[in-house]
Amino acid sequence: MSETTKRSRWASDEEEEPIEKPVKQQKTAPAPPPQSKAVRQVIMRTKQPEAKQYPYLRECRHVDCFERLNHIEEGSYGIVFRARDKETGEIVALKKLKLNPEAGGFPVTSLREIHALMTIKHPNIVNVREIVMGNHMDQVFIVMDFIDHDLKGLMSDMRSPFLQSEIKTLMIQLLSAVALMHDNWIIHRDLKTSNLLLNNRGEIKVADFGLARKYGSPMGNMTQLVVTLWYRAPELLLGSKEYTTAIDMWSVGCIFAELLNNEALLPGRSEIDQLDRIFKLLGTPTEEIWTGFSELPHAKNIAPIYQPYSSLRSKFTTLTQAGLDLLSKLLTYDPAKRYTAEEALQHPYFDESPAPKDPSMFPTWPSKGSGHKKRDFSPSAPAAAHGIAEEEPGLAGTIFGGQTESTGFRLKLG
C-alpha cells in the first residue's frame, strides 16, 4: 500500500473556498448588566472577557490545530486569516509572518512585533493568545482574538461620519492604548485607521506592530522609513535622523481628523506632495514656530509657497473650539511641543457636551472579516528590509532616498 502524506491547508497562502462545519453551541456566561452613564474612566477601563492564557515556556502547537476559514487581508509584514480552534471551537485571527530565512534568519521586525504584543496587555490593544508553527521554520503564526472590523474598511461603508460622542469614545480608547505603549518604551511607528480594529461592543484595538520597537533614552538614530505616508510626521519627511514618540502622536492627529470627516486628512501621492499638503493645511513652518526646522537635512532643498496661517478651521467647520484646539495640538509642527497621549487625555474636549458614548451603546455592523468582500484601498507601511540595523546611511527613507510602492516618484538631486 502506497504511503500518502496529508497536505495542510496552511501550506499555501492562496485563498480556498472554506467549508464551515457546524459547531456545537457552547454555554456562555450571562451578559453583564448594562453600564451606567459613560464617563472617561469607564471607557478606559472596559472589562474584557478573560482569554485563555498560555505560558511562555511550552511547546508551540501546530497550525493544523486550527481550521482555516477565510483570508482577511495582507499587509507588509504578514497575511491574516480567520480560523477556528479545533479544540475549543473559538473563532480567532491567525497572522502568518512573512519570513525569508535565507536573508539572515528570523527577521528582527517579527521578533519586535511578537515581543511587543506578548508583553503589553491593554483592553485597547489586540490580544495575542499564542504562537503556533507550521511544518517549516518559515511558517510562524501569531494567534490573536478575532475582531469584527478594521476602522478604515468600516468607515468606507458608513454614509456619514461617527457622532461626536462616538469619536470621543474612540479617541479616549486610542489615546489610552498609545499612552501605555509609550509608558512601556514602545513606539508603534505605523498608526493608521486600517491598523485599528473595532468590535461590535464599541471597543477599539490597536493592531499590526510590524514596525513597532523598543526605544531608550536618548533614542538615538533609528530608521527613517517608517509610518505609512498619509500619517507620516513632517520631521520624518524632512529627513530628521532622530525622532521621538511624537511621530505616533502626529498619526493620532491624522486619525482624529479622519474620524471627523470620514476621509483621509492628507492623502499624499509622494513625499513631496505630502509635504505640500501639510504646508497648505497648517501653514509654512518657520524657525519661530518650529525650533530647529531650518537645520533639518531637507529643509533647504524645498521651496514651498509661503502660507502664514493654518486652514484647519475652514476644513472642520462643525468642530468645537476645544476640539479644534486638540487637533491643532496633535498636529503641531515642533515635535517637542506636540501633545503627548497623557496630555491629550486631559484635554477639555472630552469634558464638554456631548459626553463620550458608552461603548456598549455603539451600533453594530456586519463583519467584513467573516466574508470575502473586497477591501477599499489603503496605503501600505514602508517595507523595510528584515533584519537590517536601524542606522541607515545616506538618504534612505527620506524624500530623496529610495522609494517604496506607497511613496510615489523619486526626486533626483543635482
Kindly report, residue by residue over 102-157, the tens digit of the pLDDT: 666 677 778 888 888 888 899 999 999 999 999 887 889 999 999 989 999 999 88
56 pLDDT tier (thresholds 50, 70, 90): low
Q: pLDDT, tens digit, for every residue of 275-329?
A: 999 999 999 999 999 999 989 998 888 877 777 888 999 999 999 999 999 999 9
Question: pLDDT band at 412, cuts 50/70/90?
Answer: very low
Contacts 24+ apart (CB under 8 A), 119-122: 119/184, 120/180, 120/181, 120/184, 120/186, 122/176, 122/177, 122/180
Which pLDDT belongs to residue 3?
47
Instruction: Tell me which residues are annotated as active site.
Output: 190
Give 271's contacts (C-beta < 8 A, 6+ positions apart): 229, 237, 398, 399, 407, 408, 411
pLDDT of the residue at 110: 81
Q: What is the pLDDT of residues 343-393, one digit of tens each?
A: 999 999 999 999 999 999 999 888 876 664 545 556 766 655 344 444 444
Q: What pLDDT is stored for residue 335 in this prediction?
A: 96
Does residue 218 have a cis bond before it (omega within 30 degrees)?
yes
| Residue 141: per-residue pLDDT | 93
Q: What is the pLDDT of residue 191?
A: 96
Q: Percentage of the chain with pLDDT > 70?
A: 74
In this prediction, residue 119 carries a pLDDT of 85
pLDDT one-digit tens code per residue, 255-266: 999 999 999 999
Using CA atoms, how far apart are residues 141 and 228, in angstroms rounded to an integer?
A: 24
The residue-averaged pLDDT of 336-349 equals 97
- 378 or 60, higher pLDDT: 60
pLDDT, position 125: 96
- What pLDDT digit, counting tens, does each position of 22-46 carry? 555 555 555 555 554 455 655 555 5
Contacts of residue 233, Cβ cutoff 8 Å, sequence gap at least 6: 227, 243, 246, 247, 250, 251, 335
What is the pLDDT, as a whole number, of residue 1?
47
